[in-house]
Amino acid sequence: MKSYRLVLNLTVATLIGGLVAVGHAEDGVTKDEIRIGSFGPLAGPVYMYGKLAMNGLEALFDKVNQEGGIHGRKLKLVREDDACKPEGGIAAVKKLIYDDKVFAINGGGCSNSTLAARPEIVKAGIPFVVNSAVADGISSPPAPNIFTTQLTATIESRAQLRYALEQKAKKVAIVAQHDAWGRSRYEPMMTALKEQSIRPVSDEEMTIDQNDGTAQALKLMQTGADAVLLVVYPKPAAVLIRDSLKLGYKPLWIGQTAIQDLPQLQEQVGIPGALEKFVSIATIPAHPDDPEMAEWRERIKKLFPNDALSVFNLMGIGSGMVVVEALKRAGPDLTREKFLTAMGSIKNFKTGMYPGPITCKPPVSNQCNQSVGWIKFGDGKPKSAGVTTLD
């Protein structure tokens, strides 16, 4: 009886103890290694922004390590899943900081989980460079240890509206998802409209799994909208465009960075010529099938045989390049402060991925990417449709 008690006590203690962090690692830097953490959804409907972006980051680290690392240290990626939920974001960030003890974090796949995790990150002072999440609240008001290389929701929404107005649209409509992702863009969009004293003629909702857009298309047609601002994911967008074509309704469709793979969108709609009056914002204007991307295609194939290079990988790579540059500039005697100073020193840095140069302007703005690259689809290929730089 007593021995059972003892055994059970020990088992429970070990069980709990298993959760307790053991280890006295420094803040993620040893003489041969730099540990960079990343968090985002690794499973679930929006895993592209987490898992695929991290795959890209790993491909970049692989390349850097092959070329000798940074001041002799190899880069190691530590992934944590946040399930795209606030609870998950807080847990993932706590784990990265206190358990995995990483040097810095380059990630943030979902806006709502990253927003929820922000206080924790600020409190810990760990450097954080956002690569996918767009919510403004993450990087604004500026915190000394948070930078973003992703376009923010405000930048994108304003750019969408600006494009519509530049194309002389008279009646602007919005179709948006009202989930966490959609809201982070919808609110700045409404603010931008108000500032311009424009009332949208139609404000419709779609859900991420919606199979038919006829009701929405009918509403849009009835109001005669000539430009539609799309704040939706590829599936609702494809469904909406398809059903609008069915009704013979052909407005100017203006998308954003969630809809970047235009050849795939054309396939998803199915009807030839569907994207004639369609533009969208590309975080990365290059398409995975472009000749310049051959090296990355090979690297992704090598590391992840089931995958094919996608824009989400490229998003991870682009942001990672900025982080790698800052790590280089921080020098061999690497500390978090030096890294943050190095991030602040990045001006007009060309990645070959983002449409414009990356410029960080602490303490006024740590939103380092202000260039919106437009893409459209013609002759069966995506094409650039100009770059707008806001400030």
Partner 1 sequence: MSHRAFLVVLFAALALLPIVANQYTLFVGNLMMLYIILALGLNLLVGFAGQLAFANAAMYGIGAYGAALLQVRLGLSYWIAAPCGALLAMAIGTLLAFPALRLSGIYLALATLAFAQFTQWVLLHWTTVTFGAGGFPVPQPDFSSFGVSPDRGIYYVSWVVTIVLLAFAWRVVRSRIGRAFVAMRDREMAAQALGVDLLRYKAMAFALSGFYAGTAGALYPAVLGYVSPEGFDLFQMILHKAMIVVGGMGSIVGSVIGASLLVYLLEVLRQFKATQEIVFGALLLAFVLFQPRGLVEFLKRSVPGWAEPLHYASDSESPADIAVADEVVAGSRGGATR
Partner 2 sequence: MLVLSYLLVTGITTGALYALVALGIVVVYKATEVVNLAHGELFMMGGFLAYTLHVMVKLPYVPSLLLAVAGSFAIGILTDRVAFRPLMKEGLVSVLLATIGISFILKGTARVLWGGKGDYLAFPPLVSPEPIRIGNVMIMSQQLVVLLAALAVMLVFAAFFKTTRAGKFMQATASNPRAAALVGIHVSRVYMYTFGVGAAVAGASAVLMAPLTLLYPDIGFALFIKGFAAAVLGGLTSVPGAIIGGLLVGILEQLAAGFIGTTMQDVSAFIIIMFALIVLPTGILGVRGIRKI
Choose the contact partner of 238 out of partner 2, partner 1, none; CB within 5 to 8 A by kind: partner 2
Q: Binding partner 2 by CB under 8 A: which of 17, 68, 270, 386?
A: 270
Given 17, 45, 119, 331, the residue binding partner 2 (CB under 8 A)? 45
| CA 76 – CA 304 distance, rounded (Å) | 17
Decide: is 305 part of the binding site for partner 1 (CB under 8 A). Answer: no
Residues in a beta bridge with 279: 254, 376
User: Whose Cβ is closer to partner 2: residue 264's or residue 359's?
Assistant: 264
**Cα separation, 162 vs 209, whole angstroms:** 29
Count of residues in contact with partner 1, rule CB under 8 A: 45
Residues 95-154 interacting with partner 2 (rule: CB under 8 A): none
Q: Which is nearer to partner 2, 152 or 310 (CB)?
A: 310
Q: Which of 94, 205, 250, 349 binds partner 2 (CB under 8 A)?
A: 205
With CB under 8 A, what is the number of residues at the site for partner 2? Answer: 44
Assess 308 for contact with partner 2 (CB under 8 A).
yes
Shortest Cβ 310–partner 1 spacing (Å): 15
Which CB contacts under 8 angstroms, 24+ apart, belong to 195-199? 196/161, 196/165, 198/161, 198/172
Instruction: Out of 27, 44, 361, 389, name the contact with partner 2 by CB under 8 A.
Output: 44
- State the binding partner of 122 from partner 2, partner 1, none, CB within 5 to 8 A by kind: none
Q: Which is nearer to partner 1, 83 or 368 (CB)?
A: 83
Of 7 and 247, nearer to partner 2 (C-beta) is 247
* Residue with Cβ nearer partner 2 (272 or 386): 272
CA-wise closest residue to 256 among 196, 168, 186, 180: 186
Is the C-alpha dihedral spanning 44, 46, 52, 54 positive or negative? Answer: negative
Nearest CA among 86, 91, 68, 72 for reference residue 31: 72
Give the interface with partner 1 as residue ranges (CB under 8 A): 1, 4-5, 8-9, 12-13, 15-21, 42-43, 51, 79-81, 84-87, 90-92, 94-95, 97-99, 111-112, 115-116, 119, 135, 178-184
